Amino acid sequence: KAGVTQTPRYLIKTRGQQVTLSCSPISGHRSVSWYQQTPGQGLQFLFEYFSETQRNKGNFPGRFSGRQFSNSRSEMNVSTLELGDSALYLCASSLPGEVGPTGYTFGSGTRLTVV
Amino acid sequence: DAKTTQPPSMDCAEGRAANLPCNHSTISGNEYVYWYRQIHSQGPQYIIHGLKNNETNEMASLIITEDRKSSTLILPHATLRDTAVYYCIVRDIFSGNTPLVFGKGTRLSVIA
């Protein structure tokens, strides 16, 4: 079956701009989580959406937001970009309340560079 | 915060077993031990998980100590493609809604 698809793979933006990243989960997976990965901070949890509702949120400023559509696809938005937002943004999908064998399935990520 | 402690890096000769340790001294009775790995510039990949018994699958073996305060991931015959960062994570089995919390992991380098 198709994996988690993230688009675009690479993105270059200027400080102050805003950006939208997209994630299509595995068919049947209704939970989508977003992570930010930087060399200094590692993998950090941003937020999780389930059935179009934000269920968990990490410790990030309000410039970071997301949403989930009825088909479970999710987008995250970062407004007023800062240089420190340069990172690999990873999306993971899972079944609701999944704690089974595979848990989360990650996409390949979107590498965002802010200049 | 991550509830696990792992060495920052390890080397392993190709073809030999790679043994990656993880300390989770505050693990609770409901928490599973999960292992993921991340190959450069890719998303993390699930490897294996366990509660208290040793587990084996086609990728690896997981050995959990009797007191559950530590575990070891074993790659029986490491190849160059196993070079990656390996993350040990504990997660409550009754909290399916809680996110995976990643620590710094162990960077495994498999050397030819």
Instruction: Select from A96, A103, A109 the Cβ nearest to the Cβ of B43.
Output: A109
Record: contact B97-A56, CB cut-off 8 A:
yes
The whole-angstrom separation of Cα B75 and Cα A106 is 21
Q: Is the dihedral angle over the CA atoms B19, B17, B9, B50 positive or is it negative? A: negative
How many residues belong to chain A?
A: 115
* Cβ atoms within 10 Å, residue A23: 27
What are the beta bridge partners of residue B75?
B18
The whole-angstrom separation of Cα A66 and Cα B49 is 30
As a whole number, the mean pLDDT across chain B is: 92
| Contacts of B67 by beta carbon, 8 Å cutoff, 6+ apart | none
Interface of B with A in 23-42 (CB under 8 A): 32, 34, 41-42
pLDDT along chain B (112 residues), means of 10: 90 97 93 93 91 93 96 97 96 74 95 96
Longest alpha-carbon distance in chain A: 42
pLDDT in tens, A90-110: 999 987 655 554 678 999 999
